[in-house]
């Protein structure tokens, strides 16, 4: 009988896709250890698990190795965003160094790590014959930098919402070296895959592993088609997510026919956004359960992102029965069946956004049927499929 490969996974903050991967690895007896900053397992104290809900994992605590100090200081820091980003970078690098120093103490065949936290790990893995699996959660850094610089010129007043414009040359060098050191690269979308230079793709296998969808919610029995169209934007309130283009499109529409809600973290004072477009309804960041409740109050999700990896909110909306208006750069081109699950629009096109909003206004009676199709589409994407693409 062939022995199963053993994996080490490393990620400082444990996003949704990390939770899914380590759960599937553990259930298939493939997880050697999960390295993170702050996190607790299923066998730890119940009070602690509730306190650290977002950092609580469905694997035994004995499978988790922590390096928590810098991340703790970051979470407690009252500094500005620049200081917090510096602490986040330090947290990634310290965890990377810890994994590299511990690799030889574990029986492991593959180490799976993520952008900004893999370089030292991969260099050590190469020395001891461990395979380097790399997950690139957002488009290649040169693509990001180019698109965001163009956005800063296009909307100068929104430039301060483009957080990654000021990344250091040292950090960009690390990103490049991680790609070079990787033995295989996992991408969440075709958009990310296409952004990787051909010179890298020719040398190593690159795969698309789409994220899984959350469970669907019960759809309302009926919708009031006589009221206006209710649009919802979910995400950081930045032009990276295309919010300026949404506002521009909304200005050209009759307000009694369409309303816009924005759910997300402001990058600038709220007064800035009201000056750009004053009529939106604001929802602050909230739990996933509350996000889904808010989604159920709306008709369509709109996310004309300039740069993403694969915005999970797209599948979250579909599972709630919301058709979507998104760009290919949001990483969910495969989710769109035109006129069935939503519409694809090009980036930087408020005119096309307006056109698709008007399509929904003219076809509002079809939204209930579209909602069912949206949920069918969302079901096709599971976390088990995502994980098996990585370890299969």
Same fold, 7-212+382-391 and 229-379: yes
User: How is 164-226 classified by DSSP, letter by letter?
Assistant: GGG--HHHHHHHHHHHHH-SEEEESSHHHHHHS-HHHHTTS-EEE-PPPPPPP-PPPS---TT
pLDDT tens readout for residues 83-134:
888 899 999 999 999 999 999 999 999 999 999 999 999 999 999 999 999 9
Give the per-residue pLDDT at 225.
55
Q: What is the average per-residue pLDDT within 321-332?
A: 98
Among the listed residues 36, 30, 63, 33, the one whose alpha carbon sits nearest the alpha carbon of residue 52:
36
Lowest mean per-residue pLDDT among 8-12, 41-45, 304-308:
41-45
Instruction: Kindly tell me the sign of the dihedral angle through the C-alpha atoms of 378, 15, 289, 280.
Output: negative
Give the per-residue pLDDT at 391.
92
Among the listed residues 210, 139, 184, the one whose alpha carbon sits nearest the alpha carbon of residue 388:
210
Among the listed residues 153, 290, 176, 313, the one whose alpha carbon sits nearest the alpha carbon of residue 233:
313
Kindly state the helix (H) or strand (E) to which residue 73 belongs, with its residue range: helix 69-76
Q: How many whole angstroms separate alpha carbon 174 and alpha carbon 164?
A: 15
Domain boundaries, the chain: 7-212+382-391, 229-379
Listed as own residue / partner, the contacts of 194-203 with beta carbons closer than 8 Å and 24 or more positions apart are: 195/139, 195/140, 195/143, 196/136, 196/140, 197/140, 197/142
Q: How many whole angstroms separate alpha carbon 282 and alpha carbon 118?
A: 37
Mean pLDDT estimate for the chain:
94
- 228 confidence band (pLDDT: 50, 70, 90): confident
Q: Which residues contact 297 (CB under 8 A, 6 or more apart)?
A: 230
Lowest mean per-residue pLDDT among 125-129, 205-209, 217-221, 287-291:
217-221
Q: How many whole angstroms separate alpha carbon 106 and alpha carbon 7?
A: 10
Q: Which residues contact 169 (CB under 8 A, 6 or more apart)?
A: none
The yes-or-no verdict on residue 222 having pLDDT over 70 is no
Q: How many whole angstroms separate alpha carbon 370 and alpha carbon 360?
A: 11
Give the per-residue pLDDT at 48.
83
Give the per-residue pLDDT at 255.
76
pLDDT tens readout for residues 133-170:
999 999 999 999 999 999 999 999 999 999 777 788 99
Q: How many whole angstroms separate alpha carbon 256 and alpha carbon 227?
A: 9
Domain 7-212+382-391 belongs in CATH node 3.40.50: yes
> What is the architecture, at CATH level 2, of domain 229-379?
3-Layer(aba) Sandwich (3.40)
- 375 confidence band (pLDDT: 50, 70, 90): very high
Q: Parallel, antiparallel, or unpaired for β 131-135 and 184-187?
A: parallel
Backbone angles phi, psi at 81, to 5 degrees: -65, -35
Give the per-residue pLDDT at 2.
55
Task: State the angle between helix axes of 169-181 and 141-154 in degrees (0 to 180), rounded to the nearest 10.
Answer: 140
Give the per-residue pLDDT at 213.
97
The yes-or-no verdict on residue 11 having pLDDT over 60 is yes
Are 229 and 364 in contact by the 8 Å Cβ rule? The answer is: yes
Hey, is 104 helix, strand or coil?
Answer: helix
Q: How many whole angstroms separate alpha carbon 72 and alpha carbon 163?
A: 22
Percent of the chain scored above 70 by pLDDT? 97
- 82 confidence band (pLDDT: 50, 70, 90): confident
Neighbours of 348 (CB within 10 A): 21
Q: What is the average per-residue pLDDT within 292-312?
A: 97
Among the listed residues 127, 126, 113, the one whose alpha carbon sits nearest the alpha carbon of residue 186:
113
Q: How many whole angstroms separate alpha carbon 215 and alpha carbon 85?
A: 33
pLDDT tens readout for residues 21-47:
999 999 999 999 999 999 999 998 887
């Amino acid at each position: 009988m062939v022995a199963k490969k053993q994996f080490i996974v490393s990620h400082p903050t444990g996003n949704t896709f990390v939770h899914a991967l380590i759960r599937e690895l553990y259930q298939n007896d493939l997880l050697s250890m999960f390295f993170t900053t702050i996190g607790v397992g299923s066998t730890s104290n119940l009070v602690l698990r509730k306190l650290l809900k977002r950092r609580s994992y469905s694997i035994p605590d004995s499978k988790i190795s922590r390096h928590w100090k810098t991340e703790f200081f970051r979470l407690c820091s009252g500094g500005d965003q620049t200081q917090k980003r510096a602490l986040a970078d330090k947290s990634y690098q310290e965890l990377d160094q810890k994994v590299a120093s511990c690799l030889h103490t574990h029986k492991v065949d593959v180490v799976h790590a993520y952008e900004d936290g893999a370089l030292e790990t991969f260099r050590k893995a190469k020395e001891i014959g461990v395979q380097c699996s790399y997950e690139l959660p957002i488009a290649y850094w040169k693509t990001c930098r180019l698109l965001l610089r163009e956005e800063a010129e296009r909307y100068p007043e929104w430039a301060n919402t483009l957080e990654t414009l000021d990344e250091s040359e040292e950090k960009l060098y690390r990103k490049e070296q991680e790609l070079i050191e990787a033995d295989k690269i996992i991408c969440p979308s075709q958009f990310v895959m296409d952004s990787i230079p051909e010179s890298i793709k020719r040398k190593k296998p690159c795969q698309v592993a789409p994220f899984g969808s959350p469970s669907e919610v019960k759809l309302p029995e009926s919708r009031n088609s006589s009221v206006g169209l209710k649009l919802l934007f979910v995400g950081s309130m930045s032009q990276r997510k295309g919010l300026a283009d949404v506002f521009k499109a909304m200005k050209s529409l009759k307000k009694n026919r369409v309303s816009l809600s924005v759910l997300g973290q402001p990058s600038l004072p709220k007064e800035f956004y009201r000056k750009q477009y004053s009529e939106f309804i604001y929802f602050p960041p909230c739990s996933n359960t509350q996000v889904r409740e808010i989604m159920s109050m709306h008709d369509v999700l709109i996310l004309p992102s300039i740069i993403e990896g694969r915005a999970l909110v797209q599948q979250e909306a579909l599972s709630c029965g919301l058709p979507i208006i998104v760009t290919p750069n949001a990483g969910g081109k495969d989710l769109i069946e035109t006129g069935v699950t939503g519409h694809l629009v090009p980036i930087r096109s408020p005119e096309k956004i307006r056109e698709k909003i008007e399509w929904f206004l003219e076809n509002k009676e079809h939204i209930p049927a579209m909602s069912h199709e949206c949920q069918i589409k969302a079901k096709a994407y599971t976390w088990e499929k995502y994980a098996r693409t990585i370890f299969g």
